[in-house]
Amino acid sequence: MAGLSVLMGTLVMVGAVGLMGMDASHLPLLWLFSVAAIAVSGIGALSLLAVFGTPGMLVVTLVFIGMAVPTAGATTPIEALPGFYRFLAEFEPLRQLTGGLRSILYYDAQADAGLTRAWVMMAAGLTAGVLFGFGVTNWYDRKGLDRIPAEGKPEEAAVPV
């Protein structure tokens, strides 16, 4: 995921800044922030997929899209949202990323304009994702639990029915 985030962050910058002419006066910081955001989001999603298996795709969709988009504060002010979404907005990743990008692009990359909170929350998200993913999958392995469905196991596929 970390390697892919470098590639994807670079491609996004090439497209946005190079092809579309977006103003990016803090391009190195914007690139670094984008790469980190992609890596942290991807590692969090992969952790949820590793823990929950196929149903993890639904969990990832709910956490990273369904609950994050309304709480991002990009289109609807947080103050206009119901209490549940205002609570979620305190830790949902998309709001933190939006604040960091807004700080870099519009507020001269000032730390107190949301950039510090974005970096801190990305670090917290990365820590939580790694600890959760490795912790639960390690627990699965110690308990001898199998995350591969019985019909997908190679040794059982060769046995005639």
22-58 per-residue burial string, b: 16 or more CB within 10 A, e: under 16: eebeeeeebbebbbbbbbbbbbbbbbbbbbeeeebee
Give the integer Cα–Cα distance in Å for 29 and 150: 47
| Residue 87 forms part of a structural domain | yes
Q: Write the DSSP symbol of residue 89.
A: T
For 108-146, write each residue's pLDDT tens digit: 999 999 899 999 999 999 999 999 999 998 998 888 877
The whole-number average pLDDT for the span 47-73 is: 87
Instruction: Tell me how many domains the chain contains.
Output: 1
| Residue 160 forms part of a structural domain | no
Domain extent at residue 130: 2-140
For 78-89, write each residue's pLDDT tens digit: 888 888 888 888
pTM above 0.85, yes or no: no
| Residue 56 forms part of a structural domain | yes
The alpha carbon dihedral of 7, 66, 123, 32 has a sign of: positive
| Residue 16 forms part of a structural domain | yes
- Res 40 pLDDT > 90: yes
Question: Where does the pLDDT of residue 72 fall: very low under 50, low under 70, confident under 90, or very high at 90 and above?
Answer: confident
The whole-number average pLDDT for the span 45-72 is: 87
